[in-house]
Chain A
Amino acid sequence: MEFAFTEEEESFRQEVRSFLDTELPADWIMPIVNPAEDSYRDEVWQLHKVMARKMGEKGWLSLSWPKEYGGKEASPVLNAIFQEEVRYRGAPGRDPQGVDMVAPLLIHFGTEEQKRQHLPGIARGEVFWCEGYSEPQVGSDMASVQTTAVDEGDSFIIDGQKLWVSGAHVTDWCHLLARTNPAAPKKHMGLTYFLVDMKTPGITVRPIMDMCGGHGLCEVFFDNVIVPRENIVGQKDQGWEVALALLDFERGVDVGGAAMMRGFFDLLMQYMKEHNLTEDPVIQQHLANIYVEIETARLLGYKVVWLASQGLPTSSQASMSKLFCSEANQRCANAMMRLLGSYGQLTGDSKWATLQGRIGHWYLQAFTATLARGTSEIQRNILAVRGLGLPRS
């Protein structure tokens, strides 16, 4: 057993830290709490793009890719350290859609042309992606896709509607599932995985206002959208397998959530110490409780990183990590709001606001944590059936 990092890993962490010290505006606390929402806010998006390019120049967006596609073939541990430091500071620039999902997807399932076309843009931090999975009638029951794609030989024509597509209004490409064979005997058969240029005619994006005042979540309409055949990932009608693999990447290595909580916790501790608020034994119990949750989330996250670094299966352990971390996220945000009392509700505009009102923002954002990337209920199902071997319901 070894819980420490190697010298190489420690020095990489220092390098990322000093990069973030230099590049982040000093007076901006945790710009990104939830990457799937905050990255696309008007006030963050420009900085997100600038920092993505700088991270791309460092080679940090393609750390663990094969060298032939411009990667460093670094261990998943380095990638986790990068993720951890970025989320600890709430820094923009690391697009989880491109870096954590589309890139591994293409490396595993993509054609040579797809890899050549798409990987460099992700690696350089120049091209941003969104995900078209949910639909008005498609939530946890992900295989019940109603958006259709009709095979026209050289191309497919996509019609339908996708929902909760984070960043669709500003991102460049969308990866999505569409139904190519409505006659297939089971609903998860007959689906095909597509890469779609968001500039294609026939795509309409409508941002949806959310309760945090953002509009990162979008609804996307596809009306006679022509997608070239070479944009299929995997085989026609075999998209389900690709989608499941992607979900494993999506839920996979995530030490970011724990790092974000730790970021807030350290800020709060500093604030409470400066204001002599740490003497009350009840408050101390709450603070310690939050700390325990964060440490536990971090260990569960790193266990998955280690499994991945050994080439071992991560699936049910990743579900466990995601499940714990997302629920801890809500418990900790709520606990910190309680510690702030009436001040917690103030937004950053108020002169009385604490930590620029970011904990209140987090508290609201945290409601999505147990929904996005598979609800807690779905994670428990996966854990019970895949991890514990219980019979399917």
Chain B
Amino acid sequence: MDFSLSEVQKMLKREARSFLEKECPSKLVREMEEDTRGYSPELWHRIAELGWTAIPFPEKYGGAGGSFLDLIVLLEEMGRVCLPSPFIPSVILAGLTILDLGSEDQKEEFLPGIAGGGIICTLALLESSDSYEPTAITCQASYDGKGHHIQGTKLFVPDANIADFLLVAAKTRGSSQSEQGITLFIVDSKSQDIGYTLLKTIAGDKQFEVDLDVKVPQTSVLGKVGNAWNSLKKTLERAAVAKCAEMVGATQRILEMTLDYAKERQQFGHPIGSFQAIQHHCANMAMDVESSRLNTYHAAWLISEGLPSSRHVAVAKAWTGEAYRKITALSHQIHGAIGFTKELDLELYIRRAKAAEVAFGDGNYHRKIIAQELGCTTRRKNDRQP
């Protein structure tokens, strides 16, 4: 049992903290909300130079051979400053999926670029049903003997505007129900036959509707036809924990901001932080931050060690997503009206908290997974006795 970070992880954390505090002030975060690209290519380039995008990939593909846990340490720091970047989409959603599922040729073609930051990818998975179940994928891929014709509409695709390639999840025509028929395609994002519409969100991040009516060659099938679901499940687990890590960093920062404010702000001749009503809100926030961190690192450690992780990933995401919302609400209550304004950074976090809570499954979704993991049975319609 050891709850401490390794020396390498501590170094990475320190490096990320000082770099991001300097290079990603809230001014930049606000500018990027207005920017059509939504990220700073220059900052992205420097992040890649620091080797962060290379962390989880093997050295033979230009990676650094680091662990998933290393990545989590880094993501916590990124979340702390609300870094606008395609890091999770490119490295975790796309990169690690290609590493899992791709042929040797595909890995050699894409991974060095992703690891080096020169290629940006994203994953087009969700559709109008907003469901992470395999049955929710209705986007069709039909094979005509030469290639695949992909038709359908994807929603909430992160950073699709800046991605060079999209990983598109589609149901192969003629395949059986649910998990069996799902195929991932690596699609050139610049194709004329793909339409992009920005979805304006409360967080000002860049999510897109992606309309596909595109023909792709057989070589764009990632791995084999019809076998993507198991890998996608793992991808979603990693992404859920990555999102948790961002939330942990964000909530830690919110707690610090709130404590500073409670010590400075005077009412009735005393700092408001000396009032028990405020102290108890702060204690509740600290408890939620710490429990989110422990659940997140526990899940990340299981993934890093290659141990069964589904249950604890679900625990982490169910807990952390809801804790983030509670923490922002308490912080806002302590800050009072100023928390509602753009004069303070709190609002940046509040607007992102809701997106983070639902990304890669909300609490209800993950509790459903936990129930399945615990052996709860699901009654299917056609199982019902007369």
Residues in chain A within 8 A of chain B (CB atoms): 1-5, 9, 77, 269, 273, 276, 278-279, 281, 283-285, 287-289, 291-292, 295-296, 299-300, 302-303, 305-307, 309, 317, 320, 323-324, 377, 379-381, 383-385, 387-393
* In the complex, residue of chain A having the shortest beta-carbon distance to the beta carbon of B364: A285
User: Which one, A276, A288, A303, contacts B3 given CB within 8 A?
Assistant: A303
Is B286 a contact of A383 with CB atoms below 8 Å?
A: yes
User: Which one, A3, A305, A380, contacts B280 given CB within 8 A?
Assistant: A380
Is A324 a contact of B286 with CB atoms below 8 Å?
A: no
Any A CB within 8 A of the CB of B46: no
Is B298 a contact of A299 with CB atoms below 8 Å?
A: yes
Is B294 a contact of A296 with CB atoms below 8 Å?
A: yes
Is B378 a contact of A279 with CB atoms below 8 Å?
A: yes
Query: What's the minimum C-beta distance from B4 to chain A, rounded to whole angstroms?
Result: 7
Is B273 a contact of A306 with CB atoms below 8 Å?
A: no
Any A CB within 8 A of the CB of B338: no
Contacts of B295 in A (CB 8 A): 295-296, 299
| Chain B CB within 10 A, most for which of A323, A383, A388, A389 | A388
Contacts of B279 in A (CB 8 A): 380-381, 384-385, 388, 390, 393
Any A CB within 8 A of the CB of B199: no
Query: What's the minimum C-beta distance from B132 to chain A, rounded to whole angstroms?
Result: 16
The size bracket of the interface on B is: 35 or more
- A9 to B4 CA separation, bound complex (whole angstroms): 19
Chain B binding surface, main DSSP class: helix
Write 21 A-B pairs (CB below 8 A) sorted by A numbering.
A1-B5, A1-B297, A5-B1, A278-B371, A278-B375, A278-B377, A281-B368, A287-B376, A288-B366, A288-B374, A291-B374, A299-B298, A303-B290, A317-B290, A324-B287, A377-B276, A380-B283, A384-B280, A390-B274, A390-B279, A393-B276
Query: What's the minimum C-beta distance from A70 to chain B, rounded to whole angstroms?
Result: 26
Is A288 a contact of B318 with CB atoms below 8 Å?
A: yes
User: Which one, A2, A269, A278, A284, contacts B2 given CB within 8 A?
Assistant: A2
Is B1 a contact of A309 with CB atoms below 8 Å?
A: yes
- A178 to B21 CA separation, bound complex (whole angstroms): 54
Using a Cβ cutoff of 8 Å, how many contacts connect chains A and B?
Answer: 150
- A309 to B274 CA separation, bound complex (whole angstroms): 33
- A4 to B297 CA separation, bound complex (whole angstroms): 13
Known contacts A292-B315, A384-B282; decide if A390 and B273 are in contact (CB<8 Å).
yes
Chain B residues numbered 263-294 whose CB sits less than 8 Å from any CB in chain A: 263, 270-271, 273-276, 278-280, 282-284, 286-287, 290-291, 294
Contacts of B1 in A (CB 8 A): 2-5, 9, 77, 302, 305-306, 309
Contacts of B302 in A (CB 8 A): 3
Chain B residues numbered 236-277 whose CB sits less than 8 Å from any CB in chain A: 259, 262-263, 270-271, 273-276
Known contacts A295-B295, A300-B290; decide if A273 and B375 are in contact (CB<8 Å).
yes
* In the complex, residue of chain B having the shortest beta-carbon distance to the beta carbon of A291: B370
Residues 357-381 of chain B, each 1 if its beta carbon lies under 8 Å from chain A, else 0: 0000000101111110011111100
Is B319 a contact of A388 with CB atoms below 8 Å?
A: no
Any A CB within 8 A of the CB of B69: yes
Is B368 a contact of A285 with CB atoms below 8 Å?
A: yes
Any A CB within 8 A of the CB of B171: no
Any A CB within 8 A of the CB of B301: yes
* In the complex, residue of chain A having the shortest beta-carbon distance to the beta carbon of B380: A279
Contacts of B318 in A (CB 8 A): 288, 292
* In the complex, residue of chain B having the shortest beta-carbon distance to the beta carbon of A383: B283
Contacts of A269 in B (CB 8 A): 374-375
Query: What's the minimum C-beta distance from A85 to chain B, rounded to whole angstroms?
Result: 16
Is B3 a contact of A284 with CB atoms below 8 Å?
A: no
Contacts of A289 in B (CB 8 A): 367
| Chain B CB within 10 A, most for which of A3, A269, A385 | A3
Contacts of B298 in A (CB 8 A): 3, 299
Is B283 a contact of A384 with CB atoms below 8 Å?
A: yes
- A388 to B263 CA separation, bound complex (whole angstroms): 11
Is A383 a contact of B287 with CB atoms below 8 Å?
A: yes
